[in-house]
């Protein structure tokens, strides 16, 4: 397949299989498999080459335990250049409609932009409007936190309930949880809670123990039509109105572009904060969707989050291929999936504050690139995005690490750790980091049968015991991992980490020949659920007809 430009000079189509063959990557994978990951650790200069620590980002990205060497990387870069990764990147940053199935630009980077950055959509600079909206919703957050904006009774708010789903929930709640150490150090005047599930228990749980007279409800829905969000919103509004009557309006805020619909719910226009259709939901925490973050942790922390993300944007634009962090993240995953056969990637944050990061990345990555149709409208002939999953360390060590170490399938791991303690016991934090480092090393080098036999004999085990149990104690190793270490879990560092993964997502879509920024895959089930709710008969299987009767 020849590369060709898509409609309106969009992203070119790309034949990954041909590029893999031209770059000799299958031969490189076979060669490295013969060497093995453990032996590759002795490669001269490996640390200098495979550890990236760009200035001003606050992170050390260690790729030394990936089954890649310089020759394999050269082939991967050849593939990336064949895909014109830099041209694709520049096209996205120019405001071109790279979300071609919906005819939209993809410019969430503008939400963390600064004056003079020059982000344009349809030829119009959008930065001034972004800054105006940013100042408005952050000023509002400060007014609520400081008591300048009060309840209908003139008292300070004590609680906020943020209602959204998908990108209107996962990003804000992940960042809010990650900034918990900051709030514990500095204090926080507001308790922020999040509701996403249409299961009514989720809202009941969030409202448990709250006084509506001191509670603000933030409704986050770009269209103000999202089924689950609006169902929860109507219940929350009724809860407020039951205690406050018409005064409930003062306790309501909307993040939406549908000012009219928000007004119909009693929310005045000056408390409706919107954003453009060039911002996808799962990339929207950088704008008004992040209001709950600012309410919880303050506008200063939120602005630092934006600065960290913008610093990663500049790095992505300016760093050469051999030092470019998002390019490394994308090409390493492509290598693991398409050359080594991995079907999942495990995200292990060795930081309790980052416990929602795996769930956030699940949506951001799998909703973006979990697709099987290429930019040319034809089925792709290669694997696309792996499953993303994980839990915080050290919990996972007592759960699924058994499978990671000794299972029959390959699951590359991302370790994410923080050098500075986030809690009050430096010794416990050292134990946490020791576990992260040890797990990465164990995944890499494993333990041979000979080593097991020697250790068991030295410990006094009988020959019979050794013969019976030694095979079960063998770790084959060769399990690749990337180790991401932050100096401290600051808002700036968090912003940089999130932005790095956003750019990784974009590049992977370029290489896999996908449109990363639509999400048609979420629509069918939602549409069918609406037909059930409306009583439409539709065409259902016999099993579903029986299930419907059970639910009636």
Between CA 475 and CA 452 the distance in angstroms is 9
- Identify whether 213 is a catalytic site residue: no
How many residues does this entry show for the chain?
552
Q: Which of 5, 419, 476, 526 is catalytic?
A: 526
Helix or strand or coil: residue 476?
A: coil
| Chain center to CA of 451 | 40
Residue 538 has phi, psi (to 5 degrees) of: 60, -170
Task: Pull the structure tokens for residue 516.
Answer: 């990363």
User: Which is it for the CA torsion 156, 159, 163, 167, positive or negative?
Assistant: positive
User: What secondary structure letter does DSSP report for 84?
Assistant: T
The span from the CA of 459 to the CA of 148, in Å, is 69
Contact 198, 231 (CB under 8 A): yes
Q: Which of 304, 333, 367, 502 is catalytic?
A: 367
Active site residue 5: no
| DSSP structure string for 389-412 | E---TTGGGGTTHHHHHHSSS---
Q: How far apart are CA 54 and CA 284, in angstroms?
A: 25
255: closest CA among 265, 246, 244, 247? 265
Residue from 398, 464, 472, 537 carrying the catalytic annotation: 398
Radius of gyration of the chain (CA): 25
177 contacts: CB under 8 Å, gap ≥ 6? 353, 354, 355, 356
Report how far residue 494's alpha carbon sits from residue 11's, in angstroms, rounded to the nearest whole number: 29
Euclidean distance between CA atoms 85 and 65, whole angstroms = 25
Helix axes 491-512, 299-318, angle to 10 degrees: 40
- Long-range CB pairs of 147-154 (<8 Å, 24+ gap) are 147/189, 151/213, 151/214, 151/250, 151/251, 152/213, 152/244, 152/247, 152/248, 152/250, 152/251, 153/213, 153/247
Q: From the CB of residue 6, how many other CB atoms can be counted at a distance below 10 Å? A: 16
> Is 367 a catalytic site residue?
yes
Residue 286 contacts residue 309 (beta carbons within 8 Å): yes
Residue 208 DSSP symbol:
T
Residues classed as catalytic: 367, 398, 526
């Amino acid at each position: 397949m020849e590369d060709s430009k898509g409609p309106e000079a969009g992203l070119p189509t790309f034949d990954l299989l041909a590029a893999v063959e031209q770059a000799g990557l299958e031969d490189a994978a076979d060669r490295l498999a013969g060497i093995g990951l453990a032996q590759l650790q002795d490669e001269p200069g490996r640390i200098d080459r495979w550890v990236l620590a760009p200035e001003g980002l606050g992170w050390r990205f260690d790729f030394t335990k990936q089954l890649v060497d310089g020759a394999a990387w050269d082939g991967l870069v050849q593939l990336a250049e064949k895909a014109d990764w830099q041209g694709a990147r520049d096209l996205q940053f120019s405001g071109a409609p790279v979300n071609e199935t919906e005819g939209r630009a993809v410019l969430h980077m503008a939400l963390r932009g600064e004056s003079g950055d020059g982000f344009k959509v349809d030829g119009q600079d959008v930065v001034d409007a972004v800054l105006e909206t940013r100042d408005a919703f952050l000023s509002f957050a400060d007014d609520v936190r400081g008591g300048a904006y009060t309840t209908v009774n003139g008292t300070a708010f004590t609680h906020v309930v943020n209602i959204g789903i998908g990108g209107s929930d996962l990003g804000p709640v992940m960042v809010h949880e990650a900034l918990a150490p900051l709030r514990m150090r500095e204090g926080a005047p507001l308790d922020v809670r999040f509701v996403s599930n249409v299961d009514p228990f989720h809202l009941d749980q969030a409202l448990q123990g709250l006084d509506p007279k001191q509670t603000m409800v933030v409704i986050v829905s770009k269209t103000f039509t999202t089924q689950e969000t609006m169902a929860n919103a109507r219940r929350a509004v009724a809860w407020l109105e039951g205690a406050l009557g018409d005064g409930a309006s003062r306790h309501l805020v909307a993040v939406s572009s549908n000012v009219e619909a928000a007004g119909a719910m009693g929310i005045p226009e000056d408390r409706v904060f919107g954003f453009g259709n060039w911002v996808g939901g799962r990339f929207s925490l950088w704008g008004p969707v992040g209001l709950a973050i600012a309410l919880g942790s303050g506008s200063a922390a939120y602005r630092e989050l934006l600065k960290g993300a913008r610093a990663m944007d500049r790095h992505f634009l300016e760093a050469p291929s051999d030092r470019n962090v998002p390019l490394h993240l994308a090409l390493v995953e492509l290598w693991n999936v398409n050359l080594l056969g991995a079907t999942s990637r495990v995200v292990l944050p060795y930081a309790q504050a980052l416990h929602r990061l795996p769930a956030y990345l699940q949506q951001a990555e799998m909703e973006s690139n979990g697709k099987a149709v290429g930019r040319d409208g034809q089925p792709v002939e290669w694997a696309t995005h792996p499953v993303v999953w994980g839990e915080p360390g050290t919990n996972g060590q007592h759960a699924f690490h058994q499978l990671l170490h000794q299972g029959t399938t390959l699951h590359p791991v991302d370790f994410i750790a923080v050098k500075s303690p986030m809690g009050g016991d430096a010794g416990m934090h050292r134990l946490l980091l020791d576990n992260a480092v040890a797990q990465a090393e164990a995944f890499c080098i494993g333990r041979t049968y000979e080593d097991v036999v020697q250790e068991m004999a030295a410990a006094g085990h009988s020959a019979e015991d050794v013969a019976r149990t030694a095979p079960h104690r063998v770790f084959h190793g060769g399990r690749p991992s990337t180790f991401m270490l932050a100096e401290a879990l600051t808002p700036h560092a968090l912003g940089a980490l999130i932005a790095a993964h956003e750019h990784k997502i974009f590049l992977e879509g370029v290489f896999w020949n996908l449109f990363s920024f639509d999400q048609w895959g979420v629509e069918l089930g939602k549409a069918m659920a609406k037909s059930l709710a409306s009583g439409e008969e539709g065409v259902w299987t016999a099993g579903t007809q029986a299930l419907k009767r059970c639910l009636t």
